[in-house]
Structure 1
Amino acid sequence: METKQDIAYLEVPTAAIDIEKTTRSDGSILLRSRLPLESYPEKITERLCYWTDKNPEKTLLAQRDADGNWYRLTYAEVWKRMLSVAQYLLDSGADKDHPVVVLSGNSWQHALLALAAQHVGIPFSAISSAYSLKSKDYKKLKHCIELLTPGLVFAQDGQRYQNALNAILGDTPLVVAENAVTGAVLFDELLGVPPTKSVQQAHAALTEHTIAKILFTSGSTGMPKGVINTQGNLSCNLQQITQTYPFMSNGGLHLIDWLPWSHTFGGNHNFGLVFYNGGTLYIDEGNPTPAGTEITVKNLREIAPTVYFNVPKGFEELVVQLDRDEALCSLFFSKLKMLFFGGASLSQHVRDRLDALAMRTVGKRILISSGYGMTEACPSTMFNTRYDQLSGNLGVPVPGISAKLMPCDDAFEVRFKGPNLTPGYWRDDLQTENAFDEEGYFKSGDALKLQDVEDANQGLVFDGRITENFKLNTGTWVNVGLLRTQLMNESNGLIKDVVLTGYDQSFVGALLFLDANMRQQMTLEELPLRLIEVMTAIFKRNTGASTFIKRALIANFEPSAKRGEVTEKGSINQRAVLTQRKDWVAKIYQEPSVPEILEI
């Protein structure tokens, strides 16, 4: 039997863990790191300037061109082109009240626009491409545009985004990189604009409070909200992350990454870390689908990352490919120092497979890290850097931030305060006022609890999303996040996702989304027996009707991104599925139950 001493890890430097805990008379608990937050730039592009001076010929960005070859831009080239784009923006209709808006996905042109806008203090907003390409009524896109009142809009491909542009553009200036449409300016024209002193003057006028970005929340519980990220918010959080993982500093970060820049994980965390620390980013145009994974795998056959970021769905797809292809696996692990997941919990069976692949390839396990983040924090508030971390443990607060656990019903809502936290929402005073408590802490809506109430250094554990949790008709709360994770872990990979049901009902039910490969390996007789076995195991461990699943139904449909049931990061939107699939939910509570229902 393997013991703790037998486990060999590739050790990399991470920050010390030293958490101060204060319990207050109102039952709230304050947590903060005793490690001081080190200094960070007031302006987000200062680090880009630093690395351009220090290592001008190093590749900052790379992306495949139309012929499939890597098109590379050095730090010096990015800096020079950024200044030209910045001048164009200053001469356009964009300003502090009329942001630069991007409708399309990640690209080197997108990167230059983002950096240029932030360099001269024009707010920048990347909007999820799904709002343009997967919607028929463009409802969310129109909402975002009406809120922003943009001074300039960019789309990578004018023809591909033509319908969305027709729905929202009006008289707003349009820039496209390819397949120009009537009235559009080609992006290459921006690169030929000579920068003047006005670029320097605009940059000099920036402060840490200048708005840098407006990133939209997912809109899973309503219309998207425009989260303000200031220059100081962004710089602060990149310093907090770098302090936590110091091996990323000094040019050692080498990423290949697909995560969309319209979300904080990809756009702030990953892209930001690269130019903040003098690294290199290869833009991966894949995604966590079978077809998208083929693109990612093609890229990983050529590029060896030092850190690999992904969402759990992406890792689920990738481990299958790594297990099949020895050469791919060897290159993937050859320079790897850390695997990092975000957006949801990584199931234990995927962790185990990653461990096994690393041991088989390099003879040591790789740190699998995670944390807790949100758009309002740019995004990071906590990290788990332990090699022996427990599933669901989100780690401890980063330096410079204070976390408050506030009693809420039968749980603790986690709230945060620090220099990386947003000042509020763009043009929405009511949402801003409601987002913070009387002490200025941002209310996350998530429930966390201490892993060990006697030792805060052991970290915090996810205890459900307060806005997802619901009550049975007995008045008992159902912890959706916890029960969902238990079910997926117990199934050892057979259940890839779950939507829990039971609002105002007498028991908890579930729609089960199964792993296609594992499902095919089981007979029609074996499959229901295995699922009932999983449900029964949870029933035996837990007590009370709110802590186990009485009935479940295998979802013989794929959740639809067009209907909002799947987010851009590949995770299921619980509320959307419950709203869109009411007929499926009704089957679970039908009396007598229908034959396809699994029941314990």
Structure 2
Amino acid sequence: MPDADSGSPATFAVPRIRSERLPDGRVLLRSAEPLAAHPVSVVHEFRRHAAEHPDRLLLAERGADGEWARLTWGEARAQADRLAQGLLDRDLADRPVLVLSGNSRLHLVVALAAMTVGAPVVPTSVAYSLQSTDHAKLRAMADLVEPGLVVAEDAAFAPAVAAVAGDRPVLARDGDLPGSVAVGSFGAEPTAEVDRRCAALRRDTVAKILFTSGSTGTPKGVLNTHGMLMANQQQVRQAWPFLTAEPPVLLDWLPWSHTFGGNHDLNMVLANGGTMWIDDGRPAPALVGRTVRNLTDARPTLYLNVPAGYAALLPHLERDPAAARAFLERLRLGFFAAAALPQQLWDRLEKLAADHGATMTMTTSWGLTETAPAATSAHFPITRSDVLGVPLPGVQLALVPVGEKTEVRVSGPNVTPGYHRRPDLTAAAFDEHGFLRTGDAVVLADPDDPAAGLVFRGRIAEDFKLSTGTFVSVGTLRPQLLSASDGLLTDAVVCGADGDRVTAMVWLHPDHAARVDADGVPEDALRAELAGTLRRLAARGGGSSQCVERVLVLTEPARLDAGEITDKGYVNQAAVRDRRADLVALLSADPPPPRVVVRAG
């Protein structure tokens, strides 16, 4: 269906959702639109597009000189096929390929080469290589998957390579790692065997092993099959019809070691013949300026980010009209996922678009590493960020009562078959009806209209009870607290289990970090602003479970090695509370110590 005023395909397909209430209390939701026929693999779509438009830009990344280094579709196909032949020649085409590098041309062509011949790709978080001090999680991953090849960009990865390579061959961009082979020396002229192996790919062939964040214990490897990944791209295409006519242009920093960046975003470009500009910025004060610079060149048609990314970028766009125009000029969709977008950010984004006469639409979806990743999509107009959308074509959701909440569970062609070498975890992940347990709580936005979508009600495992028996929904309260702070806070850990009040530990925006002393005590003006934040939150209503009575400012960042945070900046609530139990105790002390700010004063 075309947009009424442009003649181009519609941004969204109109959702048609069917629901069924079962005698056991479960509610089943599914799209009335069947999943359309689609290729076996994203690799097949990549090869088709490379043949159709070999000169189109596929990937651009900043080089060491600060200039864009570009890779066309035809160049990517040629390099991937040569590396695929190199894997065949070295008897590595049936072994996993462990990639330590971040998003790059090397990472892309290695991944395409491996998947072309059926070798699973195992992309790992750069944080585990460059930020970790013990490489324990990286070694655990290597021990589990037993890769045949280790890939690292350059000498910066030498300690990580030493931790996991052993006697395995190592591939590096220029061969500057000890014992490594340069890309140019690894590849070979492709033979017919490359095409034969690609043609032999099946939907159940494992394309990737993606590790979850491992914030509680050893990371687990989620099997991502070729069928999962391609089915998910077809599902998204049916929800966003414009993708088939308008190859997407992305400016993206999200790591390919994570399902959001590596499956949702990168595969969207590969499946639809688009272009990705790798953003060397990140949602951090020292790096977001690079994103602003890159917008001028990329001028994306889709912008996909986590809420922290929008929070870092928005102030720059508000004070720089040229950057705002570059951001909005061609932007059809602004997309966020993985956490609720605080309402004050949503409102500011809409105002920015209106001020520049832009027609950008905000949207979101929901899913997991285990669902490749999208299971739902808000492919209809929404005005609140906790709406998760409706099931995509081919997906069936089961809404299952769990205690006082309703858990959403998933089945469909985009759902994982399980966890690598962990049959125990695989068995526990699925219920007796074959649905994947997600641990996420939801409600229907409108009980009488399933097409109005689902509303997120937090992670069931994160929620807790006060001593009064009142449930606290952390997933709901946390973004409300951040919104009430008007940019003063960047994140929060909600506390108060079994106590008589809800409290929180918070991180200040870096602009305000100097306003606490060495002991973590806020200056008087900051104390007043924090108390004002709590009063604004309380004024929204919702009872004791939606009010934070006390806060304590954290001065130490969340630690990756301690499992407090993932590589993408998501805070593990339980891990932070457990590691900083002494600070949690301060929040309930009476009288409150100087570090603690009380709503009433």
Per the shorter chain, which TM-score range?
Answer: over 0.9
* C-alpha displacement of 1:284: 1.6
- What is the DSSP-based 3-state SS (H/G/I as helix, E as strand, rest coil) of the residue aligned with 1:387? coil
Q: What residue in structure 1 maps to residue 232 of structure 2?
A: 237
Change (3 A) 1:28 1:269: same
Matched pairs, number: 587
* C-alpha displacement of 1:457: 1.1
* 1:410-446 Cα shifts (integer Å, max 9, x gaps): 0001000000000000110000000000111000011
Change (3 A) 1:219 1:519: closer
CA distance in 2, matches of 1:520, 1:161: 34
CA distance in 1, matches of 2:135, 2:469: 39
Q: What residue in structure 2 maps to residue 573 of structure 1?
A: 572
Higher mean Cα deviation, 289-298 or 565-574? 565-574
Q: Does the alignment pair 1:109 with 2:106?
A: yes
Q: What residue in structure 2 maps to residue 410 of structure 1?
A: 404
CA distance in 1, matches of 2:507, 2:207: 39
Change (3 A) 1:556 1:416: same
* C-alpha displacement of 1:89: 1.2
Higher mean Cα deviation, 496-505 or 26-35? 496-505
Equivalent position to 1:181, from 177, 180, 188: 177
* 1:243-293 Cα shifts (integer Å, max 9, x gaps): 111212235211111110000011011110101001111112221111221
CA distance in 2, matches of 1:190, 1:250: 37
Equivalence map 1:44-443=2 (5 Å): 44-96=42-94, 98-157=95-154, 159-178=155-174, 180-191=176-187, 193-361=188-356, 363-443=357-437
Higher mean Cα deviation, 383-392 or 237-246? 383-392
- What is the DSSP-based 3-state SS (H/G/I as helix, E as strand, rest coil) of the residue aligned with 1:549? coil
Higher mean Cα deviation, 104-113 or 577-586? 577-586
Equivalent position to 1:19, from 17, 20, 23: 17
CA distance in 2, matches of 1:417, 1:48: 27
Higher mean Cα deviation, 84-93 or 559-568? 559-568
CA distance in 2, matches of 1:95, 1:318: 42
Note if contact 1:519-1:527 (Cα within 8 Å) is conserved in structure 2: no
How does the TM-score come out when normalised to structure 2?
0.93
Note if contact 2:59-2:276 (Cα within 8 Å) is conserved in structure 1: yes
Query: Which runs of 5 or more residues in structure 1 are unaligned?
Result: 1-9
- What is the DSSP-based 3-state SS (H/G/I as helix, E as strand, rest coil) of the residue aligned with 1:281? strand
- What is the DSSP-based 3-state SS (H/G/I as helix, E as strand, rest coil) of the residue aligned with 1:178? coil
* C-alpha displacement of 1:71: 2.0
* 1:123-168 Cα shifts (integer Å, max 9, x gaps): 11101111111112211111101000000000001x2111111122
CA distance in 2, matches of 1:269, 1:543: 35
CA distance in 2, matches of 1:249, 1:60: 16
Q: What residue in structure 1 maps to residue 5 of structure 2?
A: none
Higher mean Cα deviation, 63-72 or 523-532? 523-532
CA distance in 1, matches of 2:449, 2:276: 38
- Give the RMSD, CA atoms, in angstroms: 2.2
Note if contact 2:93-2:117 (Cα within 8 Å) is conserved in structure 1: no
Q: What residue in structure 2 maps to residue 589 of structure 1?
A: 588
Q: What residue in structure 1 maps to residue 4 of structure 2?
A: none
CA distance in 2, matches of 1:17, 1:503: 39
Q: What residue in structure 2 maps to residue 3 of structure 1?
A: none
Q: What residue in structure 1 maps to residue 41 of structure 2?
A: 43
CA distance in 1, matches of 2:533, 2:446: 27
CA distance in 1, matches of 2:16, 2:228: 23
Note if contact 1:214-1:228 (Cα within 8 Å) is conserved in structure 2: yes
- What is the DSSP-based 3-state SS (H/G/I as helix, E as strand, rest coil) of the residue aligned with 2:162? helix
Query: Which runs of 5 or more residues in structure 2 are unaligned?
Result: 1-7, 517-521
* 1:517-539 Cα shifts (integer Å, max 9, x gaps): 47899995454344334434544
Change (3 A) 1:141 1:520: closer
Change (3 A) 1:452 1:225: same
What amino acid sits opposite 2:162 in the alignment?
A: N
How does the TM-score come out when normalised to structure 1?
0.93
Note if contact 2:132-2:560 (Cα within 8 Å) is conserved in structure 1: no
- What is the DSSP-based 3-state SS (H/G/I as helix, E as strand, rest coil) of the residue aligned with 2:42? coil
Change (3 A) 1:491 1:369: same
